[in-house]
Chains A and B, each alone.
Chain A
Amino acid sequence: MKSETVLRFEHVRFTYPGHQTPALDELTLALPRGQRVVILGHNGAGKSSLFLHCNGILRPDAGRVLFHEEPIDYSRRGLLDLRRRIGVVFQDADDQLFSASVLQDLSFGPLNLGLSDAEARRRVYVAAEQCDLRHLLDRPTHALSGGEKARAALAGVLAMDPEVLLVDEPTASLDPLMRRQVFTIFQDLSEQGKTIILATHELELARHWADFIVVMHGGRVIGAGARTQIMADQQLLARIGMDRPWYEPFMASEEYAPANVPCTGQGDS
């Protein structure tokens, strides 16, 4: 039986070499399986560092990380298995795409899993289909647009068929139309029962998309729970200055009236 908690952090502490303040500080957290999770926090809160602990790129200085309630096995084989099951999509697609062509890049993960060329090719086509990249497979990577690069980076991870998908700042470099495309893919994956975990500093994403929200601040988890519970907790949100929209102090004072509707205004015409 698979457990209900997919990833668990127990008192994890981590400091980057040569730094004074820890990036993760006594971090304790349990993430539910099969849900849509948002890790919410400002820049520098420790979201990316948390992700890199999930797939064993970084190792805690103290404390431990458990996957399906088993402590992570940091041996070569253990890590390969972990990275097969937990896929990470990085914030900047250019950091991830290393190959000259899209097809080559997508095949990298599957071939690392020891799959045959034929099976790897099949996986590539499935992932490309999913991310609407079939017509771009032979394109040189540098000739892709921003949105296409983002989808290629996602497809390169999906080709490994992970059960948990971690995506770092998925909205940061995408315009609204591209966001819709990418979130359509997330929706499909979520309906397949996969756990999807997004890191973001956008409250709106947490408010409208998440089942489960984790609030991070200064390398710690300062709140975690169901969306409704976290969103109702004004005190918690106030601690990271997200209890009201950032633009509130600058808001235009007039009421918004659609241009094509005649204004039945009070004295302004």
Chain B
Amino acid sequence: MLRRLHVPEFLIDVMTVMYRFVFVLLETLGRIATAQDSRLGYVNRRRAMNSAALLGSQLFVTTFRRSQRLQTALDSRGYNNSLRVLPAEYTFSQRWVWLTVCVASTMLIVSYIR
């Protein structure tokens, strides 16, 4: 689909992984938030601000570690700088593609600023 539109190869790869990552990220986000809530992390506004900040930094660390493990797993299956897979009948859902684009560009901007 994207390949036919002459989108550069590496951008497609980034999108593929990000698309999947967004779901994992959201899951992680949900789990941490629930755990915080269970220990009354959102009992009042001050605690909530604090918890949210912790959540943010924890998510960042988790994501970084996870990306390293993903790299290891890809290498183990013979990754050589291109994520070639068979075309699937499955189509990306529009909504999630846009969310992925947003997250991807945010991360790009963040890594640029740092």
Contact = CB atoms under 8 A, between A and B. Distances in A.
A99 B20 contact: yes
A97 B70 CA distance: 8
Given A80-B78, A98-B74, A111 B20 contact: no
Nearest to A100: B19
A80 to B, nearest CB: 5
Interface residues of A, number: 40
Contact of B78 (A105, A107, A113): A113
A109 B49 CA distance: 44
Contacts of B47: none
B76 A98 contact: no
Contacts of A90: 69, 72-73, 76
Given A98-B16, A100-B19, A140-B90, A57 B75 contact: yes
Contact of A80 (B16, B80, B92): B80
Contacts, number: 94
Contacts of A138: 88-90
A156 B77 contact: yes
Interface in A78-112: 80, 83-84, 87-88, 90, 92, 94-101, 103-105, 107-109, 111-112
Given A111-B86, A112-B84, A121-B86, A100 B16 contact: yes
A52 interface: yes
Nearest to A80: B78
A160 interface: yes
A95 B86 contact: no
B45 to A, nearest CB: 33
A57 to B, nearest CB: 6
Nearest to A142: B23
Given A98-B73, A142-B20, 11 more contacts: A55-B76, A80-B80, A95-B69, A97-B20, A99-B20, A100-B16, A100-B88, A100-B92, A103-B90, A108-B84, A111-B86
Interface of A: 52, 55, 57, 76, 80, 83-84, 87-88, 90, 92, 94-101, 103-105, 107-109, 111-113, 117, 120-121, 124, 138-142, 156-157, 160
